[in-house]
Chains A and B, each alone.
Chain A
Amino acid sequence: MADNDVITPHEQYWCEHIALIFKLLAIWFLISFGCGILLADLLNQFSLFGFKLGFWFAQQGSIFVFVALIFIYATKMHRLDKKYDFHED
């Protein structure tokens, strides 16, 4: 991207950003496709507040986690923007 070998702040920002996206999407995948579908039968042996665990992840738990993931992303990105001084005003 840059013309020389020096890593620009812009590239550093983007690397950290990508790392964050990967982490959050790993959780996204693990909770919905993992706990809710692939491991549902296994998790159904356990129960939580009257739910079979796999069923709970598939019908409720994953949605709560999705909401949390977006707000974690927004907060962390706000900090990252500040760290690299990308202002919007």
Chain B
Amino acid sequence: MDLQTLTYLVVGLSFALYIGIALWSQARSTGDFYIASGGVHPIANGMATAADWMSAASFISMAGLIAFMGYDGAVYLMGWTGGYVLLALLLAPYLRKFGKFTVPAFIGERYHSRTARVVAVICLIFISFTYVAGQMRGVGIVFSRFLEVDINTGLLVGMGVVFIYAVLGGMKGITYTQVAQYCVLIFAYTVPAVFIAFQFTGNPVPQLALGSELSDGSGALLAKLDQVLLELGFGEYTEGKKSVQDMFFITLALMVGTAGLPHVIVRFFTVPKVRDARKSAGWALIFIALLYTTAPAVGALARLNLVETVNGVEQQGTPYGEMPGWFQTWENSDLLAWYDHNGDGRVQYAAGDAVLGKPTFDNARRGAQGERLVLNPGSGEVVGAAPFANELYVDPDIMVLANPEIAGLPNWVIALIAAGGIAAGLSTAAGLLLVISSSISHDLLKGIFAKNISEKTELMAGRCAAAVAISIAGYLGANPPAFVAQVVAFAFGLAAASLFPAILMGIFSHKMNKWGAISGMLTGLIFTLGYILYFKGVFIEPRADNIPANWLFGISPEGIGAVGMILNFAVAALVATFTADPPAHIADLVRHIRVPGHPRPPSP
């Protein structure tokens, strides 16, 4: 069977599975729709959380980023896992005990303030929409690359599938499809990794392969990589380029941001007990760690593989005509480019910029060797001790998607990668869309604007909000605003600087009042947003170059959420000392959520 048919078959089967689950688990009440009626087993919730959490970016981009960042890639590895410790110890159990449907509902009730609830809804919607646009885009890209359909057609199919199970099943449908999606994506990620690890090191466990000797007898993988990269003018793989304080703050911002992301928090509302919420966070992290400890091995092996394939055994480069088939496939999808700086007809890879930024191609003509003509070549200077100038542009996203082809794995493995990438994108998109729709139907509509609507109307409103949110997400995926590439900094920075401190103080301080919480959230939000806009300029022109010399304390916009969080805590504490303590029933509420069991005290 050829690759195309096989891919259609595998992706089609996975879709049939998701839709089957949706039909089996329809939501019949608002409880079903928002939190699957709190009846999800902790291990199932762990898997669903893992799929919810691991986005198209984790699946497609992360290993590639690590491959090119080396040690610095640890900011993602630690940042996107360490947050679960904070979530398990500081947030999830108490919010489960609180037992309501949404994150803004907690903030609104704990701070007995509609304003606080609305501020929380605004933060939530902003965080979730920026994030979901990237997911739909990822789904579209996988479709267009592997199924060779138009990106927009791919988007429409993806939207249709999410529509069926998110609108019909709500949280209940999403939960069980996410369990299935986790199985698909983790299988798709680890199978090629095991093949490649075995091929290079003789050790099939990727986590161990990273520290192993290479089978060709040229020494340990990491030592070899360090040495090869040094010779090509790069830094060592195991040494970082980022400053220590930047590493520190980016990691902190990603960790705290993870713990503050509403679509992750809300997953812990779906388990039966407080005890289950604690355990479930542990299971979630195990399932996430399976992928996150495989990724560094995939990254290192892919980088070495790339160098060896391109530069060849003699390290003189490979003539364009002799490059393997995947080279042209990816060149045709704009993710790879070659510019022959020294005119020798050989592709050479070293440190330095082969092209300026992303390549733009001349679609009409081809170069002397048949390559696509690049219109914006770099200077072609040789960097450091490298033997030649860099001539190759590689988009990091290729690393995971092309890895099976580069390693010459069978077609069914490549088909799996496509299904896995789509599963990762759809599961995260569905989780995000659900928190958006529930914050609209439950927090804004039922909570503030139309308190008297019946449960049936609220459920209908929830479904409609989900349908509208999917359409907007699809639109954003088809017409990505210029800032999609920057969303990571935004979503995590804002979650870290706004929601996380407000929830944390609501649980751990019975003195924190609404004035403190609202001023803290607004300070964190405005400071973080302002700093990112100042350097990255999303709706405006950047006001300053995004370089370390201009940064506050050497902290990049990616890490500034951690500073926003500290400001949020400081301002909230200061304002709370000068304003009245919260009323007695709030102190009772705080006491109530701190312990499992025990019926809730009556509130006035």
Contacts and interface: CB of A to CB of B under 8 A. Distances in A.
A58 B467 CA distance: 41
B222 A24 contact: no
B74 A50 contact: no
Instruction: Please tell me the size bucket of the interface on B.
Output: 35 or more
A88 B597 contact: yes
14 contacts: A14-B594, A14-B595, A28-B85, A36-B74, A37-B74, A50-B213, A51-B211, A59-B66, A66-B81, A70-B85, A71-B279, A73-B278, A77-B275, A81-B597
A51 B278 contact: no
A83 interface: no
B285 interface: yes
Contact of B212 (A50, A63, A87, A88): A50
B78 A62 contact: yes
Instruction: Please tell me the size bucket of the interface on A.
Output: 35 or more
Interface string A28-59: 10001100111010001000111110011011
Interface string B237-276: 0111000100110011001000000000000000001110
B289 A64 contact: yes
B534 interface: no
Contact of B78 (A58, A73, A86): A58
Contacts of A63: 77-78, 81, 289, 292-293
Interface string B286-313: 1001001100100000000000000000
A41 B220 CA distance: 20
A69 to B, nearest CB: 5
Contact of B89 (A13, A24, A48, A67): A24
A74 B88 contact: yes
B78 A88 contact: no
B82 interface: yes
B251 A37 contact: yes
Contacts of B595: 10, 13-14, 84, 86
Contacts of A78: 275
A86 B77 contact: no
Contact of B85 (A25, A51, A87): A25
A1 interface: yes
B510 interface: yes
Interface of A: 1, 10, 13-14, 17, 21, 24-25, 28, 32-33, 36-38, 40, 44, 48-52, 55-56, 58-60, 62-64, 66-67, 69-71, 73-74, 77-78, 81, 84, 86-89
A40 B93 CA distance: 33
Contacts, number: 135
B302 to A, nearest CB: 15
Interface of B: 66, 71, 73-74, 77-78, 81-82, 84-85, 88-90, 93, 207-208, 210-213, 220-222, 238-240, 244, 247-248, 251-252, 255, 273-275, 278-279, 281-282, 285-286, 289, 292-293, 296, 510, 587, 591, 594-598
Contacts of B596: 81, 86-88
B222 A50 contact: yes
Given A10-B591, A21-B89, A37-B248, A50 B293 contact: no
Contacts of A10: 591, 594-595
B88 A73 contact: yes
Contact of B281 (A48, A59, A70, A87): A70
Contacts of A25: 85, 89
Contacts of A38: 244, 248
A21 B295 CA distance: 30
Question: What 6 pairs across the A-B complex have the smallest Cβ distances?
Answer: A50-B211, A58-B74, A70-B282, A74-B278, A59-B296, A86-B597
B207 A32 contact: no
A29 B353 CA distance: 37
A81 to B, nearest CB: 6
Contacts of A14: 594-595
Contacts of B211: 48-51, 56
B74 A69 contact: no
Given A14-B594, A37-B251, A67-B286, 11 more contacts: A10-B594, A36-B78, A37-B247, A51-B210, A58-B71, A59-B77, A66-B289, A70-B282, A73-B89, A74-B282, A81-B596
